[in-house]
Structure 1
Amino acid sequence: MQRLWDNSKIKPSVLQIEVNPTITQEELVSWCHNHGVVVMAYSPFGSILGRKLNAPPPQANDTVLVGLSGKYNKTVPQILIRYLLDRQLVAIPRSTNDKRIKENIDVMDFSLTTEEIEKLSSFNSNYMLRTPAKWYPHPHFPFPKKNLTDYEIKCIIDHSKED
């Protein structure tokens, strides 16, 4: 972001990145807040709702998430959305289900404590649900690279074109 900021006549006002308890992006979020850049958090549930088998903890049945859900009489997804809002982020959950859309909106009648936000942030493992693979060969690719062959990189790029 700093390189973009330093080389832009018109400064960015919004950054859309993956943020959830398993990838908190603390340093980047802090940079954005300090520079007046709004952070839009996509994949607010990350892998927590159990869509990936090899994902790190927590899962939706984690005692911390279940405890907060019970305390506030909210669902785990609502707790995760509130977590982002209380960090001053714009949460953008994706759903086409009317019930879930209404549930996602029903998060404005409670706030998490600082301790609860810190507890959820302690799940951070920098685990990304999706890595923008089509940018993998770029010299400024900001994510950890695995030791891949040229053929494997080509397969990743070809697969990402399907998204």
Structure 2
Amino acid sequence: MPALGFGVFQTAPEETVQAVETALRTGYRHVDTAAAYGNEREVGEAIRRSGLDRSEVFVETKVWISDYGYDATLHAFDKSAGKLGVDQIDLLILHQPLPSRFDLTIDAYRALETLLADGRVRAIGVSNFMPHHLDQLLRATSVVPAVNQVESHPYFSQPEVIAEDARHGILTQAWSPIGGITFYREGEGGSTLEDPTIAGIARAHGRTPAQVMLRWHLQQGRSAIPKSTRPERIAENFDVFDFELTGAELAAVDALDQGVRRGPEPAAITLETFGREIPEA
């Protein structure tokens, strides 16, 4: 899996094809989507239009909580694969831990294990799982998740989650890797893009704050999936492979953690509040 992926969270379907095509032309070879985003079909269309061989693009998508349960999750694969227009998904993950119905979460993950054994997916994983969720999952299942995709950026880096992932050999993948801007809350911590420490490091390298944050993730062994629909930003976010932060600079960014989550609390995700039907392919 390429460490740097292209995300399409909150990208409208009508913008997704062009954004993903632009990303693939720029050099991205990893696209992250989800059933709940409503744009899997457009991601698949963009990959086909790119002219790239299917084997050249790593496709990652997620099962939404409404499709948890063994049989429902098997069918969720059919829906996602149908929309993407693929026979095999490279990485299929559970979108949330669903603590209020963790029995359904376990059944959903067991379905992922079946899909993996059958070769319909190449790898399986989870998203937004905290350490206690991982412990529960690992006690009840056989395959260690390849990936745990969580909110992680300089103001909310989640070192405990990263450490627990590493203890189990799970790759931490950062969503909102440049600052949780999508979930920005007025008056709560400011913007990482305007942080003076990050700006100073960026000036020292002749780079942008976003590039510094992405480099911070990559050098510390995390996957990152920035998103944008603007061609210049898509290119900027990919241009992070020809410079290196010093140990002191990495530590300075680490020290910015405020412990303030910008996205929803995993415990707040319930079928009653977040459940919605995922359409057929």
Distance 1:3 1:126, change over 3 A: same
Q: Which residue identity lines up with residue 89 of structure 1 in the other structure? A: R
5+ residue gaps in structure 2?
1-133, 277-281
How many Å separate the matches in 1 of 2:264 and 2:183?
18
Match of 2:215 in 1: 82
C-alpha deviation, 1:50, in angstroms: 10
Q: How does 1:141-156 map to 2 (within 5 A)?
A: none
* Contact 1:50–1:60 (CA under 8 A) maintained in structure 2: no
Report the secondary structure of 1:71's partner residue: helix
Aligned counterpart, 2:96: none
Cα 1:129–1:137 change in 2 (3 A) is closer
**1:85-125 CA-partner distances (Å, limit 9, x unpaired):** 11110010011111111100100011212221111111112
How many residues were matched structurally? 142
**SS, match of residue 156 in structure 2:** coil
- 1:136 matched to 2:236? The reply is no
Task: Name 1:148's counterpart in structure 2.
Answer: none
What's 2:146 paired with?
13
For residues 58-91 of structure 1, what are the alpha-carbon distances to aligned partners after superposition, in whole Å with 9 as ceiling and x for unaligned? 6433321111111111111111111111111001
How far does residue 132 in structure 1 lie from its aligned partner after superposition? 4.6
Query: What is aligned with 2:162?
Result: 29
Of 25, 45, 69, the residue aligned with 2:202 is 69
Query: What's the counterpart of residue 256 of structure 2?
Result: 123
- Is the contact between residue 44 and residue 81 of structure 1 (CA under 8 Å) also seen in structure 2? yes
TM superposition shift of 1:29:
0.7
Q: Is the 8 A contact 1:85 1:91 kept in 2?
A: yes
For CA contacts below 8 A with separation 6 or more, give which structure has more relative contact order: 1
- Contact 2:153–2:180 under 8 Å retained in 1: no
Structure 1 consecutive aligned stretches of length 4 or more whose deviation exceeds 4 Å = 47-51
Determine the C-alpha separation between the residues in 2 that align with 1:6 and 1:49. Answer: 34
* Alpha-carbon distance in structure 2 between the residues aligned to 1:43 and 1:97: 16
Whether 1:101 and 2:234 are equivalent positions in the alignment is yes
- Residues 1:110 and 2:243 aligned together: yes
Measure the CA separation in 2 of the matches of 1:42 and 1:109. Answer: 22
Cα displacement (A) at 1:49? 9.4
By how many angstroms is 1:52 displaced? 3.5
Structure 1: state its 5+ residue gaps: 139-153
Question: What percent of counterpart residues are identical?
Answer: 26
Q: State how far apart, in whole Å, the 1-side matches of 2:265 and 2:190 are.
A: 22
Q: TM-score, normalised by structure 2?
A: 0.46
Question: 1:121 is aligned with what amino acid?
Answer: D
Q: Is the 8 A contact 2:193 2:209 kept in 1?
A: yes
Aligned twin of 1:60: 193
Residue 63 to residue 49, structure 1, CA distance change in 2 (3 Å): farther
- When Rg is computed on C-alpha atoms for both structures, the one with the higher figure is 2
CA RMSD of aligned residues (A): 2.5
Structure (1/2) with the larger helix percentage: 2
Kept in 1, the 8 Å contact 2:152–2:177? The answer is yes
